[in-house]
Amino acid sequence: MEGLLLAWFTEHGRDLPWRRTRDPYAVLVSEVMLQQTQVERVIPRYLAWLERWPTVAALAAASPADVIREWQGLGYNRRGLNLHCAARRIAADGWPDDLTELPGVGPYTAAAVANFALGRDVLPVDTNVSRIQERTGHRFSAAAGQALMDLGATVCLARIPRCGVCPLASACPSRGRRYEPLRKQSRFEGSFRQRRAQTLRLVAESERPLSDLDRDAVQSLAQDGLVRVAPCGTFVTLP
């Protein structure tokens, strides 16, 4: 089954910029950006990020404020600060053997960097990979990581898989099945997440009086280290 998958990937695999490098820093940037953000949105931001900060040392030397500004529009801004903190640690101490020691790096991201950049024999299991393994009843090797992600993103879809074009269909016990809709993330429009994003955008443009801002959003952003309230309590700035 894995042979069929890899043959399909050779012909149909997506040409993504982070697949053209084995630089662990570049791969880490892509994986952090791809957390909860669509590939199409990430590609231009990834390229711009690496143009501005092409190395770990370059990002480590940046200010948190510049990192927050560059991250604007990707969502979940704490990811940008975690990436910055990780770069500072790597610049100071090198890459740890256990990548989950880096800020914001969980088991999946650690496995992805280990596999795609460091050549370690570990399969990164995201929702796509987990879904394919569950449906096929097959356990794939680390060599199939990228192929599984592409199959899950383009063919073995969550609700209505495209079994007619799937290279694994002939041996898949779930062929032809449809699935219940997944529970969607809560709406962004009108949510507290939107209030936080709007407040951070204002502060990223320039220092703002606290009285002009959403106080609850400011408090939440400050707790995450994304903004700083002046000691006098009257102005809000980026850190």
Please report which helix (H) or strand (E) contains residue 83, including its range: helix 78-93
In one-letter notation, the amino acid at residue 38 is Q
The CA-atom distances, in angstroms, between 24 and each of 18, 42, 95, 131, 140 are 10, 17, 9, 26, 23
Annotated active-site residue 31? The verdict is yes
String of DSSP letters for 178-230: --PPPPPPPPSTTSHHHHHHHHHHHHHHS-EEGGGS-HHHHHHHHHTTS-EE-
Question: What's the CA gap between 21 and 127, in Å, rounded?
Answer: 24
Q: How many Å is the Cα radius of gyration of the chain? A: 20
What is the spatial distance between Cα 104 and Cα 123, in angstroms, rounded to a whole number?
19
Q: Which amino acid is at 45?
A: R
Catalytic site residue from 2, 11, 31, 40: 31
Which residue type does 59 have? L
Tokens for 97, please give them: 């053997």
- The answer to whether the beta carbons of residues 51 and 81 sit under 8 Å apart is no
229 φ, ψ (degrees, to nearest 5)? -95, 125
Q: Decide if 236 contacts 219 (C-beta within 8 A).
A: no
Q: Which residues are catalytic?
A: 31
